[in-house]
């Protein structure tokens, strides 16, 4: 066999192998649903459970309302906060739009502090939940919150 037919045969074989490696009908996006029940069954890490108890998440259209009791030393307060999803560069983040401590609203400065601290715990919990189900590199494209579900649509990175 001359050199040209061997080269063409090798190209055809390589093309066929690549076609099998990346199926034509491979799904490039998917939707994942997290129910309110799933969220409320989530067990907080022990480092957080020492300070936070009675956590409850109430999903509402386009937002999640989180109530919790926080104990620090001899101080115990009841909190409520309203969170909205934010997608930036394919990553899902959360923003507190309001919060109260024992019924007293947080100031703008206190709300900013909340967004820089507690937000990370929420982001990590949601990311771990999604990562455990997706198990490949992805970008978050959209998030929809209903009265009972958080619906996340992702596209897969190649």
Span 96-117, average pLDDT: 93
pLDDT score for 135: 84
Model pTM? Answer: 0.77
Output the pLDDT for position 26.
Answer: 53
- Burial of 154 from C-beta contacts in 10 A (0-12 / 13-18 / 19+): buried
Question: For residue 59, how many other CB atoms are within 10 A of its CB?
Answer: 19
Question: pLDDT at residue 8 above 80?
Answer: no
Q: What would the pLDDT profile of 40-89 be if each residue is shown by its tens digit?
A: 998 888 888 888 999 999 999 999 999 999 998 999 999 999 999 999 99
pLDDT tier at 27, thresholds 50, 70, 90: low
Nearest to 129 by CA among 57, 33, 27, 62: 33
> What is the per-residue pLDDT across 124-155, written as a single tens digit (0 to 9) for each?
878 888 888 888 899 999 999 999 999 999 99
Q: What is the pLDDT of residue 14?
A: 39
């Amino acid at each position: 066999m001359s050199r040209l037919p061997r080269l063409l045969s090798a190209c055809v074989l390589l093309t066929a192998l690549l076609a099998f490696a990346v199926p034509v009908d491979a799904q490039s996006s998917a939707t994942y649903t997290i129910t309110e029940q799933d969220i409320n069954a989530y067990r907080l890490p022990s480092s957080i459970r020492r300070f936070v108890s009675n956590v409850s998440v109430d999903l509402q259209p386009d937002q999640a309302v989180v109530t919790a009791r926080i104990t620090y030393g001899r101080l115990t307060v009841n909190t409520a906060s309203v969170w909205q999803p934010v997608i930036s560069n394919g990553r899902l983040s959360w923003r507190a739009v309001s919060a109260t401590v024992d019924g007293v609203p947080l100031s703008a400065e206190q709300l900013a502090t909340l967004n820089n601290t507690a937000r990370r715990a929420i982001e990590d919990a949601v990311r771990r939940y999604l990562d455990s189900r997706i198990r490949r590199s992805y970008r978050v494209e959209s998030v929809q919150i209903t009265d009972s579900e958080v619906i996340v649509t992702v596209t897969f990175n190649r």
